[in-house]
Chain A
Amino acid sequence: MEEWQISTILTLANPIVLLSLMATAGVVLWTFMTMDPRNGWALRLGLPALRLMICLCAVYMLMQPSLIVTRSASSPTPLAVVFDTSASMGFPGDRTRLSVAIERAQKALGHNRHERTLDVQVFGFAKSVQSFDDLKSVALNADETGATSFREMISRLSRLNEDSEYAGILLFSDGADTSNITAEEVRKADMPLNVAFVGNDSKRKDLLIRDIEVDEFAFSRKPNPIQVTLENHGLPLTEVKVNLVRDGKLLQQQTATVIDGEGQATFSVLPRRTGRQIYEISVPAHPDEDSVENNTRFVELNVMRDKYRVLHLSGAPSWDQRFMRDTLTGWPQVDLVSFYLLRTTYQSTTQSNSGLSLIPFPTAELFTKHLREFDVLVFQDFDPATVGVDAYMNQISEYLADGGALIILGGAGGLSSSSIARSPLAKQLPLALPKANTPQSRLISDASFSPLLTDIGKRHPLFVTSFTDGGPEEQLRSLPRLNGMVRMKSVQSGGQVLLSHSHIKEGEVGAPLMAVSEPGRGRVLMVTTDSLWSWGFGAGMTGGPAGYYVDFWKKAVRWLTRSSELSRIALEIDSKEGNSSSPVRLNLSLLTEDYLPASGQKVSIQISWVDDNEQTRTVEFTGLTDNAGMFRKSWNAVRPGPHAVHVSADALSLSLDDSFLVKQENRELNHLSPNPTLLRELSDATGGAFFEDDVQLDDLKLKSTPESHILSRQDTALWSHPLAWLLLMGLLLGEWLFRKYRGIV
């Protein structure tokens, strides 16, 4: 096809051209006005007309006209034909969704009957986009193992579109997207997305766990629901057993009734400890199933401590008991159960019960059924023998060894209790209790004193303060003096004294006022005075830091319950990427018994998982901590699934158990179900067409694109052409001859 056009270099808006035209008008008008009116009209109009033509010819040549000849050819419309080649397109069985898609594409594009010639470029995509030469090569070369990412597909085609200027996209897909793309993202690509839906599930046979819902936060010792939704395709099932497993042990089993291809089961888990907990949810495989990979899924609960449950037992009402109670009841994170002995044993047995609002101490129920529900047990001037608790000292000892926490506070009622001294609990305490026959003058000192921090006490989490608050010793000096203490026998093995008496000595050192121990997995705090309450009320009345008392007990409860922020061993696991191709980063930090960074300590990290043959495999890393007491390790998981971690530093007798989940890299198998709704939403958002069955090319919605492309272009200057000058000369000659003929010359 050849086209020509004449164009000029100067336009009419050019000032020179405008001036020339004005001069032309002037010449023509002057000619007309200066002619003798007696001349005939032929002369009076002919001469100005001739001069007008000469001037216009000259002005036009001034505008430098040229002739442009363009040769062009028609061009096809670029169309991106994109096949979803993800794992879900490989289902079901012999005639897969992908093979159906390719058949439909061949049927529609084979004869290319669109009103415009289409330039078809073929792509396949799952997690990434792949280019194919033609439709046949899609069937031969597609990797049907990836997960569908519409986001990646749209992003890649948008980049290609900058060069190819696609008129649109024709997408063959089942809509089982794993990238959670939105219509707005697709709209930004500025290409009509025509969708051919492929997802006829009539022959599919599959039972799968479609969805697992858990609350955003899970709490220890509280029921946390896990709701499981099942989907059944083509299998003769009315009821399905759903299993909840943790650490290889079946915890619960529920029966889900399958109605209209869908069933639901709800579990309620009651985690006892905080931290990450991984549960496996599975349904049994059916012999006729197309895929069994989607019969098992894992869910990770990050269990937080909802509340600290505290059992507060007091031998008598006292200000120490009262202000500790105020602290615990005023702390929303504490669930307090308290029993205070309001009458002595003597009063209970000799006085009338008439009119009393007192209740019996539910000793058996508390210590046989509910003891382990408590995070912290407080004996405040409490002699267990007074209400029969001495019968349960073995249980309390075991509770401690298994991770419980105990606070024993003076006075003398609890700290000189022979029932404690004779029990297995006595060996777990940091301080040895005085002998039963210790005279009161030797047992008790009721003089006031200022306590002193020991070296360990200065670094211990109970007394460490922020820099802005001053050091622990400075803070302690700002508090009122304490009144009286019970003198303990000695510091036991494993006991650490944090505070001591300022002038009463036990041997070379001050008599212990506050001490801690860590028997087994539990922790104990002993305080040998009952006047700590003056750190709150007394401090406030005398202008000191009234909040110190409450802060102290909050720190104490956190430390006793091994809150991670106050623990000597801490493990951070960074598995945010959550798939087997990204390394899992483990950062271990250690503190010594004196709460200094434990440098040069030999540590071991063991990671265990179950392999494909149901065998437990373990990998172990050992090394030394650096100067900051840190040991860091990155590890590439071998397979997805739950992993248990055991960390130990034997020299410090510290260990920790944790877990992490390596998520399945290809979540596609959980998304086998077609999603025509999403596809229709995306095509509507971009103005594309949606085909549920065969694709009709004439119904494709395409952007207007250039229908031809230029082959050559020739530019010839006319103003310099001899014919143009000849024309001008001819006109000038004509004008002269006209005047000569009319006798004007």
Chain B
Amino acid sequence: MKKRYEKRIAVSSSDYKGENVHSMVLNGMTRRGFLGALAALGVTVGVRPLLGIGAASQIDIVQLIYSGGNWQPRPTALRRLAFELQKRTAVDAVLEPTATRLLPGKLADSPLMYISGDRPFSPFTPASVEVLRRYLKLGGTVIVDPAYTPDGDARGFQKSIAHLMTEVLPGINAEKLAPGHVIFRSFYKLSAAAGLRRGSSGLTGYSIDKRVAVIWGDHDMGGAWARDNLGNWEYEVPGGTRQRENAFRLGVNVVMYALCGNYKDEMPHKRFSNSSDKGQ
């Protein structure tokens, strides 16, 4: 069984806007209790068919722990994304994503990594750079999500990331991922990237062998995903429900891209894309 990184989640209901009825009814329950109740009722997660081989087959979006910055500015964000993945898609996600340092043995089971931060961080050691390079070249995918916190320096975090990428992937330049890119069609059809802030319409990527290995947004997706244990949204999204929904959709699409690659660019998908009977 995998070891899960566990951390007490700070409960905050200050930004509750009455968007979800479950949080009102179940206010005061623990997170585990809340999820357990939903699963028992078959309301949110639904009746999932037996797939995979237990916990060993689950998709874990590991969050990278690094030194000298704030590696987890949105502590509840990934958990909420995993929940939405489980609810909306056939992806069997680990509902409590793991956090880990750049250790090859730890990363060997998790080819999808989430790096967030709201301020500059210390340069990685050469050994860590080598591990991250190997991770990406072997097929791993990294999601970079700067957090725009009031007392933070998201630009500084992004400068640190840019410096890290020049070391990890020398000779590979960042490229713009416009809304026409397959990432914007991997599960939902999206016309623009979205998060806590609107930012640019596209994303930035670093590609290895035609696969976008590093997907870098500038929209603070984690801020839009973050939700406390009581079901309250932690941060208000300027664009309201629609923008928050689009942030989740983008998160789902990024994970789907990491799992299915350019699947949606295959000819059958172009041929059947206008049909009303949806499923695959």
Binding site for B on A (CB under 8 A): 315-323, 325-326, 329-330, 336-348, 350-351, 353, 355-362, 381, 383, 386-387, 410-413, 416, 440, 444, 446, 448, 480, 483-486, 529-531, 534, 536-538, 540-543, 546
Contact = CB atoms under 8 A, between A and B. Distances in A.
B146 interface: no
A341 B187 CA distance: 11
Contacts of A531: 53, 56-57
Contact of A534 (B47, B109, B263): B109
Interface stretch (B6-14, B72-80, B88-96, B151-159): B88-96
Nearest to B209: A330
B260 interface: yes
A353 B51 CA distance: 23
Interface residues of B, number: 60
Contacts of B188: 355-357
Contacts of A484: 53-54, 56-57
Interface of B: 1, 46-57, 59, 87-92, 104-105, 107-109, 111, 131, 134-135, 138-140, 185-190, 209, 211, 249, 256, 258-264, 266, 268-269, 272-273, 275-280
B52 A317 contact: no
A531 to B, nearest CB: 6
B260 A530 contact: no
B268 A359 contact: yes
B279 A383 contact: no
Contacts of B275: 359-360
A357 B51 contact: no
A316 B54 contact: no
Given A319-B111, A343-B89, A541-B135, A355 B59 contact: no
Contacts of A325: 260-261, 263
B58 to A, nearest CB: 9
A318 B74 CA distance: 26
Contacts, number: 201
A350 B105 CA distance: 40
B49 A339 contact: no
Given A356-B188, A359-B269, A345 B49 contact: yes
Given A359-B280, A446-B55, A542 B108 contact: yes
Nearest to B106: A541
A315 B51 contact: yes
B278 A413 contact: no
A357 B280 contact: no
A323 B110 CA distance: 12
A536 B134 CA distance: 12
A665 B273 CA distance: 59
A353 B278 contact: yes
A316 B266 contact: no
Contacts of B55: 446
A541 B134 contact: yes
Contacts of A318: 51-52, 57, 59, 92, 259
Nearest to B103: A541
A593 to B, nearest CB: 30
Contacts of B279: 341-343, 348, 358-361, 387
B51 A319 contact: no
Contact of A316 (B52, B56, B109): B52
A412 B1 CA distance: 18
Contact of B51 (A316, A338, A543): A316
Contacts of B105: 541-542
Nearest to B1: A446
Contact of B260 (A340, A356, A486, A534): A340
A316 B91 contact: yes
A537 B111 contact: yes
Nearest to A345: B49
17 contacts: A316-B51, A317-B90, A319-B259, A329-B261, A337-B268, A340-B260, A342-B90, A342-B91, A347-B88, A355-B188, A357-B273, A381-B52, A411-B50, A446-B55, A531-B53, A541-B105, A543-B104
A359 B189 CA distance: 12
Contact of B138 (A340, A346, A355, A537): A537
